[in-house]
Amino acid sequence: MELIQDYVQRWYKSGLDPDEYICYQKQGNFVEIEEVATGTRIKVLSFCSNDVLGLVQEEAVKQAAIDAILKYGTSNSSCSVLSGRIDLHRQLEDEISAFKHLPYTQLFMNAWMAMQALMDAFCHFAIPVPGFQNHRETLILTDVLNHGCIVSAIVNAKTRSGKVFSHSPGVRVKAYRHCDVENLASKLSRHARPNDRIMVVSDAVFSMDGDIAPLPDMLSVLQNYPGSVLVMDEAHASGAIGATGRGIYEHFEILPSDAIQKGIAPLIMTTFSKFAASAGAAISSHIAELKPLLNVSPTSIGTISLPPPTTAAALESIRICRKSPELVKKLQENTRYLRARLAEHDFDAIGETNVIPVILPLEINPKVFARHIMKDHGIWVSPIWFVAKPRIRITANALHTVEDMERLVTAMVATRNLLYKPKITAMSM
Ligand SMILES: Cc1ncc(COP(=O)(O)O)c(C=O)c1O
């Protein structure tokens, strides 16, 4: 424990530890928070929530959660495969299947559990079945900037969860350069062996860079590997990209069935913590047999099923999202507006989605930048270090007004003027 104490004390001194805030109440994007270090309470305008469609405080969503509690209670008190499956689960799975154009959907408590379940189900056939033997190895290709839930699951993919000493054919994992399809193709041709089962996994929208995976080019590469599987993590894509918020396939004006026609199995992970005002995750596919396997994976059978109010809030939110495409449109308009205004002021805002990372010079501590924005301007943004690039991570949502966004841009400019000189580009001349 001494090593931990020493390490954490040095961490504090280096200023890398996150500032802590506690929320007292929310009204749209206005949030009352306590700065834990000082006990001070302030009301701030938030640009760091993932409530992208602004449904967390929607009356119908809150009511659905309350109704579910009144009907089922606060918990299902069992895993799904034993006695914890409720009708709301089936309704939510059907709703996601229709939204994502893939007929079979399985729910999980969160993205980490969903990804782990997928790797367990795909790589290991854990229950001995008479007459069945698998001798085929798995090759997994992963984008280097994929979310931690993918990294964690593929690192563990070599061993079925909870079965350290069990044996099944090998799993090899290779990373390819970020969104680099040529690199993906060359890694595949170098590492794929004739009898391999091939899986490629990617964030659809990258959570720290706000950019979009090059899906059509990935499909072109994968059609050379018939039977391969393409997993898209749509945590930030659902409700946010595509004309009606259906995610990356709609963004590129194609359907999962186009992948199927090319001999590729499309898998989509949807999460409910962002567009669906709730928590939880789902994996959808066109293969009926995957669903029962996911249902008995260690992260399904070994834990509680999605609680009634959480399920009901997600279900109502997705229904609202499907009925009200104008919400998605508003989110996308706000994203374009804010990105354009930041570019006019020479901010290095990378990516193209409502996740807007503004890259800072290396010598600037993003925590100091964010503190100024909060203390001097009453605006809450997230300071982040990611792959050694300090950044302010801004998330636009459907509830932000032009006035809110102008306030943020003014605060960003004033804070930059205080801390460093911008690089002038052609746009500002
Ligand atoms: C790409 C990606 N996948 C998964 C997750 C985790 O999702 P959840 O918190 O809904 O389980 C996130 C969260 O930010 C994410 O950005």
Spacing, Cα 234 to ligand 1 middle (Å): 8
Give the position of tokens 């990372």: 357
Spacing, Cα 235 to ligand 1 middle (Å): 5
Does residue 155 form part of some domain? yes
Give backbone dihedrals phi and psi of 257, rounded to 5 degrees, phi first: -65, -25
**pLDDT for 395:** 98
3-state SS, one letter per residue, for the chain: CHHHHHHHHHHHHHCCCCCCEEEEEEECCEEEEEECCCCEEEEEEECCCCCCCCCCCCHHHHHHHHHHHHHHCCCCCCCHHHHHCCHHHHHHHHHHHHHHCCCEEEEECCHHHHHHHHHHHHHCCCCCCCCCCCCCCEEEEEECCCCHHHHHHHHHHHCCCCCCCCCCCCEEEEEECCCCHHHHHHHHHHHCCCCCEEEEEEECECCCCCCECCHHHHHHHHCCCCCCEEEEECCCCCCCCCCCCCCHHHHCCCCHHHHHHCCCEEEEEEECCCCCCCCCEEEEECCCCHHHHHHCCHHHHCCCCCCHHHHHHHHHHHHHHHHCHHHHHHHHHHHHHHHHHHHHCCCEECCCCCEEEEECCCCCCHHHHHHHHHHHHCEECEEEEECCEEEEEEECCCCCCHHHHHHHHHHHHHHHHHHCCCCCCHHHC
Give the end of a domain, one of 299, 323, 347: 323
147 Cβ closer than 6 Å to some ligand 1 atom = yes
What are the tokens at 59? 């009356």
Does residue 10 form part of some domain? no
**pLDDT for 134:** 84
Q: What is the CA radius of gyration of the chain?
A: 23
Is there a single domain that holds both residue 217 and residue 143?
Answer: yes
Does residue 11 form part of some domain? no
Is there a single domain that holds both residue 265 and residue 220?
Answer: yes
* Identity of residue 353: T
Tens-digit pLDDT profile for residues 348-406: 999 999 999 999 999 999 999 999 999 999 999 999 987 778 999 999 999 999 999 99
Query: For the chain, how many structural domains are there in total?
Result: 2
For a substitution probing ligand 1, which of 107, 109, 146, 147 has the most ligand atoms within 8 Å of its CB? Answer: 147
Is there a single domain that holds both residue 215 and residue 306?
Answer: yes
Does residue 38 form part of some domain? yes
282 Cβ closer than 6 Å to some ligand 1 atom = no
281 Cβ closer than 6 Å to some ligand 1 atom = yes
Is there a single domain that holds both residue 100 and residue 237?
Answer: yes
Does residue 6 form part of some domain? no
235 Cβ closer than 6 Å to some ligand 1 atom = yes
Does residue 1 form part of some domain? no
Is there a single domain that holds both residue 316 and residue 332?
Answer: no
Which numbered atom of ligand 1 lies nearest the CA of 115? Answer: 4
Does residue 12 form part of some domain? no
156 Cβ closer than 6 Å to some ligand 1 atom = no
Is there a single domain that holds both residue 215 and residue 73?
Answer: yes
What is the pTM for the complete model shown? Answer: 0.95
Is there a single domain that holds both residue 39 and residue 68?
Answer: no
> Atom 13 in ligand 1: which residue has the minimum CA distance?
235
**pLDDT for 60:** 98
Please count the CA atoms within 13 angstroms of the CA of 107 that sit on its side-chain side. Answer: 31
| CATH classification at residue 392 | 3.90.1150.10
Spacing, Cα 111 to ligand 1 middle (Å): 6
What are the tokens at 23? 């929320």
| CATH classification at residue 92 | 3.40.640.10
Tens-digit pLDDT profile for residues 202-249: 999 999 999 999 999 999 999 999 999 999 999 999 999 999 999 999
Spacing, Cα 236 to ligand 1 middle (Å): 7
207 Cβ closer than 6 Å to some ligand 1 atom = yes
Is there a single domain that holds both residue 257 and residue 331?
Answer: no
Is there a single domain that holds both residue 334 and residue 282?
Answer: no
Spacing, Cα 192 to ligand 1 middle (Å): 29
Give the end of a domain, one of 275, 307, 323: 323
46 Cβ closer than 6 Å to some ligand 1 atom = no
Is there a single domain that holds both residue 78 and residue 227?
Answer: yes
Per the structure, the complete domain to which residue 371 belongs is given by 20-49+326-421
Is there a single domain that holds both residue 306 and residue 361?
Answer: no
For a substitution probing ligand 1, which of 178, 207, 283 has the most ligand atoms within 8 Å of its CB? Answer: 207
Distance separating alpha carbons of residues 292 and 239, to the nearest angstrom? 27
Is there a single domain that holds both residue 318 and residue 398?
Answer: no
Spacing, Cα 128 to ligand 1 middle (Å): 33
110 Cβ closer than 6 Å to some ligand 1 atom = yes
Does residue 204 form part of some domain? yes
How do the pLDDT tens digits run along the chain, 429 residues long?
A: 999 999 999 999 988 888 999 999 999 999 999 999 999 999 999 999 999 999 999 999 999 999 999 999 999 999 999 999 999 999 999 999 999 999 999 999 999 999 999 999 999 887 778 888 888 999 999 999 999 999 999 998 887 766 655 667 889 999 999 999 999 999 999 999 999 999 999 999 999 999 999 999 999 999 999 999 999 999 999 999 999 999 999 999 999 999 999 999 999 999 999 999 999 999 999 999 999 999 999 899 999 999 999 999 999 999 999 999 999 999 999 999 999 999 999 999 999 999 999 999 999 999 999 999 999 999 999 999 877 789 999 999 999 999 999 999 999 999 999 998 877 665 554
Contact 13, 5 (CB under 8 A): no
List b or e across 310-345, with b for residues whose CB sees 16 or more CB atoms inside 10 angstroms. Answer: bbbbbbbbbbbbbebeebbebbbebbebbbebbeee
Give the end of a domain, one of 323, 358, 383: 323
